[in-house]
Amino acid sequence: MSELYHECGVAAVYHLPSDEVSLLLPEGDPNKTSNLMSRLLLDIQNRGQLAAGMTTFNPNRSQLIDTHKDVGTVNEVFHLNHEEQFKKLMKEYEGPAAIGHTRYATCGKDDRSYAQPFERHHIEKPKWFSFAFNGQLANYPELRDEILQQTNHHLARETDTEILLHMLSQELSSTPDHDLLTILKSLSGRLDGAYNIVYLNSLGEMFVARDPQGIRPLCYAIDGPLFAAASESVALTNLGFPAESIKNLEPGHAILIRDGILEKKQFAESSRKAHCFFEWIYFANVCSNLDERSVYLTRKRLGEELAEQETVEIDEDTIVVPVPDTAKAAADSMAYQLKIPSLEGLIRNRYIGRTFIEGNNNRAAKVRAKYTPLPEVLDGKRVFLVEDTIVRSTTMKALISQLRERGKAKEIHVRVACPPIVSPCFYGIDMSTIQELFAPRFLNDDSLELTPEIEARMAEELGADTLRYLPMESVARSVELPASSLCQACINRDYPTPAGKALYEQAVVNLTDPASWNNGGHERTYDRSAEVSATRT
């Protein structure tokens, strides 16, 4: 699913004042936290490859908090392949506390000014802070207009992260004693959408917060005096935290560290949980556990669901081939249930840089460069091609073409370990308009019923022999959470927040408005919503 991206990942680490020694920090040295941060970010690199950065706190330097960030991967930004440069950087940014971020943008440009964390300097220590943000604010247009309507206020970037920067600054100025829990409570009443926030100020105060719906995952662990948090559990596991110490932060809760004391506090009521089901299906590392549910086991169960509904005749020339890499667990599981081989007939080239791939406007050329079909595996075979999902269909079309032309496959039966994507996401996934999606072109707007006839028309459009999606109820069964605890808006149009519902209504208007088809029909719903809002005001 190379045509779909997540927004970002966040991390935090703090070596608390204590006589205890953490085995994760050699000799209990609190200045090793910068090194730990780079390792945390490397393990959540899957959540964003555009930029990376960290802010560290050290009371013994003039820059009490200081930020290092740049465009590029974690390896590039932190010089992980150049030992001397890496050591110099870690020495410069040593300190007992750090926050960090990896970025893929659903809004904003690909330059350093958009890289996170965002740091705000101030002569007053409580007002000198840095923060990083994972998610997407569905009410971004309204929040932006509120700021711009105030005299002499200006926004330099087209991103909700800058909105949060100004909102945090305003709350700090208006909150007695600059109490962080009070600030979070006030912010939660104004924010609509998905937001995980890691925050650090020049007093060495930190908070790690998860939105009231828990849309994006956030995990934390404590080992003696060492606290760490990250978007995914695998980062904490690989750092060395025991499995039993790794917890999921409850929606509407925050970990606060003040005066060297760590507390977990609730800052907002959680009217309903709405964990993004796509985290288990695609985004998260297969080694992670999110909200007490294994990513690997979820994908395994999705494969079993695919096998249960299979009707195509199977013979000795039938094989299962996963689209690398995240579809592999589902493909292997499906093949095991059907008692046929799961073979890597499609190899992904992991060493082609992002700039080359994304800089080429020809989708077929991108796929040819990124994926290599193996004729020795595919020639003359009936292939079940297993994919996580189909979003825009451009990659799938090109893959099927390559499997036929270069791989010499006899038949290609596409099996999708997810229901059809029918609606945009306004909570942190890079699909913002209806017209860019594949499935809505074939489905009835009212019922969303997926019939064999519709799947046949879809298969013909893709160039496949057959196509089959999973039914909606397979998702909750596979994740093993109630459907009411999941955000499935992109497959059922049930948005868990008011601003998400409003943006979907705008997306429907955009679908029939020729003005929304600028840039090949990929103008963001945010953009049109802002245009309408500006017209009103």
Range with the poorest average pLDDT among 25-34, 114-123, 249-258, 382-391: 25-34
Range of the domain at 535: 497-537
Q: Which of 14-18, 47-51, 153-157, 308-312 has the highest mean pLDDT?
A: 308-312
pLDDT reported for residue 522? 42
Q: Indicate which residue of 8, 219, 276, 490 is catalytic.
A: 8
Shared domain check, 504 and 419: no
Q: Are 37 and 69 in contact (CB under 8 A)?
A: no
pLDDT reported for residue 518? 47
What pLDDT digit, counting tens, does each position of 148-159 carry? Answer: 998 888 888 888
**Spatial distance between the Cα atoms of 515 and 529, rounded to a whole number of angstroms:** 12
- Does any domain span residue 282? no
Shared domain check, 73 and 38: yes
Shared domain check, 300 and 224: no
pLDDT mean over 223-232 = 95
At position 341, the amino acid (one-letter code) is P
pLDDT reported for residue 464? 98
Higher pLDDT, residue 296 or 536: 296
- Does any domain span residue 284? no
Is the model's pLDDT at 537 over the cut of 60?
A: no
- SS (HEC) of 276-334: ECHHHHHHCCCCCEECCEEHHHHHHHHHHHHHHCCCCCCCCCEEEEECCCCCHHHHHHH
pLDDT mean over 467-480 = 97
The DSSP bridge pattern shows strands 261-266 and 371-373 to be unpaired
Close Cβ partners of 446 (under 8 Å, ≥ 6 residues apart): none
What pLDDT digit, counting tens, does each position of 86-138 carry? Answer: 999 999 999 999 999 998 754 445 678 889 999 999 999 999 999 999 999 99
- Does any domain span residue 288? no
Shared domain check, 502 and 454: no
| pTM exceeds 0.95, yes or no | no
What pLDDT digit, counting tens, does each position of 326-380 carry? Answer: 899 999 999 999 999 999 999 998 776 443 334 345 656 777 788 999 999 999 9
What's the mean per-residue pLDDT of the chain? 89
Shared domain check, 27 and 129: yes
Strand order in the sheet with 318-322: 318-322, 382-387, 411-416, 466-469
Shared domain check, 87 and 213: yes
- Both tokens assigned to 240: 């060395």
Higher pLDDT, residue 111 or 70: 70
- Does any domain span residue 280? no
Close Cβ partners of 210 (under 8 Å, ≥ 6 residues apart): 196, 216, 218, 249, 250, 251, 252, 253, 254
Q: What region does 461 belong to: left with phi over 0, alpha with psi -120 to 50, or beta?
A: alpha
- Does any domain span residue 291? no
What's the length of the chain? 537
pLDDT reported for residue 533? 33
Q: What CATH number does residue 80 fall under?
A: 3.60.20.10
**Residues forming beta bridges with residue 223, ordered by sequence position:** 226
Q: What CATH number does residue 492 fall under?
A: 3.40.50.2020
Look up residue 483 and give its DSSP letter. G
Shared domain check, 504 and 489: no
Higher pLDDT, residue 494 or 368: 494
Shared domain check, 491 and 502: no
Percent above pLDDT 70 for the chain: 88
pLDDT reported for residue 430? 82
Of the pLDDT bands very low, low, confident and very high (cuts 50, 70, 90), residue 237 is very high
- Does any domain span residue 245? yes
- Does any domain span residue 277? no
What pLDDT digit, counting tens, does each position of 48-58 carry? Answer: 888 999 999 99
Is the model's pLDDT at 23 over the cut of 80?
A: no
276 part of the active site: no
pLDDT reported for residue 205? 98
pLDDT reported for residue 525? 58
Higher pLDDT, residue 444 or 44: 44
For residue 337, give the H/E element and its range. Answer: helix 328-338
- Does any domain span residue 148? yes
Shared domain check, 391 and 361: yes
pLDDT mean over 507-527 = 62
What pLDDT digit, counting tens, does each position of 179-214 carry? Answer: 999 999 999 999 999 999 999 999 999 999 999 999
pLDDT reported for residue 174? 94
Close Cβ partners of 53 (under 8 Å, ≥ 6 residues apart): 67, 68, 69, 70, 77, 100, 101, 115, 116, 117, 132
Of the pLDDT bands very low, low, confident and very high (cuts 50, 70, 90), residue 515 is low
> How many domains are contained in the chain?
3
Higher pLDDT, residue 7 or 412: 412
Shared domain check, 442 and 501: no
Q: Taking each helix axis from N to C terminus, what angle separates 160-174 and 180-188, rounded to the nearest 10 degrees?
A: 130
What pLDDT digit, counting tens, does each position of 239-273 carry? Answer: 999 999 999 999 999 999 999 999 999 999 998 99
**Spatial distance between the Cα atoms of 524 and 140, rounded to a whole number of angstroms:** 12
Shared domain check, 310 and 255: no
pLDDT reported for residue 154? 87
pLDDT mean over 470-495 = 97
Closest CA to 487 of 273, 309, 333, 327: 273
Q: Are 195 and 135 in contact (CB under 8 A)?
A: yes
pLDDT reported for residue 447? 79
Shared domain check, 244 and 165: yes
